[in-house]
Amino acid sequence: MAPSAIEVTPQQQSGVAPADTSNVGVPPGLKLIPSEKLDPRGDEEIAVWLQTRHPVTSDKNVWAYWHTGYANMPPWVQRNVINWVRRLGPDWTVHLLDRVDGSETNVSHFVDDSFFPECFKNNTMDGPTVGPHSGDLVRLPLLWLYGGVWIDAGSFLFRHVDDICWKKIEDPESPYEMAGFVIEMRPGVEIMLNGFIATKRSNPFIKRWMEIFKELWNGVTNVHGFHKHPLLRHLPMLCPPTDKLNLPPQGLNVVMEQFTDYMSQIMSFERLRKLIDPSDGFNGPEYYSNKMFLCSALQETFYFQRVTEWSGTRQFNLLTTKRKGDGVIKDENWHAAENFVHDALANTATMKLSHGPPGALDSFLADLWDSEEHHSKDNEDGTFAAYLRYGSVHFDQTREMVPIKMGWPEEEVLEAGVLEPKK
């Protein structure tokens, strides 16, 4: 979208903090952030700023992507990114990129075409997941070239990225070079997700991960059949354990081949973390075990889903509960909503909401908030949703984030070149 066409919707002007915050107490495990640490600009000014290209001056970048541009993001997603800017303050630059012709924030201003497969360069990607998989293709080149933190736009941020992991990555006494969240995607096997990735530029793992994922797209226009690709076919299908993840009894309503294809960037990570390259000595198992700061995704990004059996409808009902105002009754549902929000604000780093894989669950909170009738429900005055928004900007956690110690994987290690199929 060209700069002259920037518009701000009424929802963008609603702000984050309530006008009167005198009755907003600080729950256990939290402290109030001094106002001088926050970006003081209003929503409208930040929204315009997000649609302007900014120079990369350091590794302190937060990267996000929306295929059709800021103006086409649902209002709740716009508010997510505005809140990141406000929370992170002046030391970090949030870059929200897109693929809109003429846009100042088109990814082409940051990444050369040579990093992308033909279907991305020619806009011939097809299927129902063009947006998400375009984002997959974009995130690794950005981190390789510039460093920083990738955050999926559908994420609330409850903790400063410095305190999530960046201080560890910057510390010369620390072994950590990358950070992310892991979840059990096969029984007994923790796998790092790609919705939050932190690293400095020129990271050797990111470079190889990027090369593997790009190779999957050679000569194709969608992810169908990626689990059969010569670089991935030796890996077992993803099969999330229903009981350990607190999924509903029926599990994910999706064919696991399709689910594995949808998560093909994570499968590319899996190939690399179990690979030793004899040609240059790169050791994926050693890197994964010793140089990645990895925390539990169930705790740090999927708390909301875990405690509600991944029900978007249940999450929606809790967050639309009135927290204060005339006629509020502090019944069982009210206390459930309060506990839900307080625990998230104090004990989880992010809240990742997604739309897919399409049909995998009965309901997604992202889909409910996307609908026009619910465009303001994530920030409706007096609700627990508005309180969650307020807390995500104004409260700081007092807990320490402790990584999971990832030992040497017990699975088979592949000795091969990064782009060499298993024989």
Please report whether residue 380 resides in a domain: yes
Show Cβ contacts of residue 376 under 8 Å, excluding neighbours closer than 6 positions: 11, 14, 75
Of 110, 135, 157, which residue sits at a domain end? 110
* DSSP letter (8 states) at residue 323: -
Complete DSSP assignment for 196-215: EEEE-TT-HHHHHHHHHHHH
Beta strand pairing call for 275-276 and 414-415? parallel
Which position has the token pair 């899996």? 270
Please report whether residue 291 resides in a domain: no
Of 90, 110, 130, which residue sits at a domain end? 110
pTM for the full predicted model: 0.92
For residue 5, which of 76, 74, 71, 99 has the smallest C-alpha distance?
71
* CA distance linking residue 17 with residue 55, whole number of Å: 29
> How many domains does one find in the chain?
2
For residue 230, which of 219, 243, 241 has the smallest C-alpha distance?
219
Q: With beta carbons less than 8 A apart as the criterion, state whether 214 and 115 touch.
A: yes
Please report whether residue 74 resides in a domain: yes
Please report whether residue 62 resides in a domain: yes
Please report whether residue 209 resides in a domain: no
Show Cβ contacts of residue 292 under 8 Å, excluding neighbours closer than 6 positions: 176, 177, 178, 179, 180, 192, 406
Residues in the chain: 423
Please report whether residue 195 resides in a domain: no
Q: Which domain holds residue 61?
A: 1-16+26-110
Please report whether residue 167 resides in a domain: no
Please report whether residue 331 resides in a domain: yes
* Each residue's pLDDT expressed in tens, for the chain with a length of 423 residues: 333 233 333 333 334 443 334 345 799 999 999 999 999 999 999 999 999 999 999 999 999 999 999 999 999 999 999 999 999 999 999 999 999 999 999 999 999 999 999 999 999 999 888 999 999 999 999 999 999 999 999 999 999 999 999 999 999 999 999 999 999 988 888 999 999 999 999 999 999 999 999 999 999 999 999 999 999 999 999 998 888 777 777 666 778 899 999 999 999 999 999 999 999 999 999 999 999 999 999 999 999 888 998 889 999 999 999 999 888 999 999 999 999 999 999 999 999 998 766 666 678 899 999 999 999 999 999 999 999 999 999 999 999 999 998 766 567 899 999 999 998
Which sign does the torsion angle of CA 289, 291, 293, 297 carry? negative
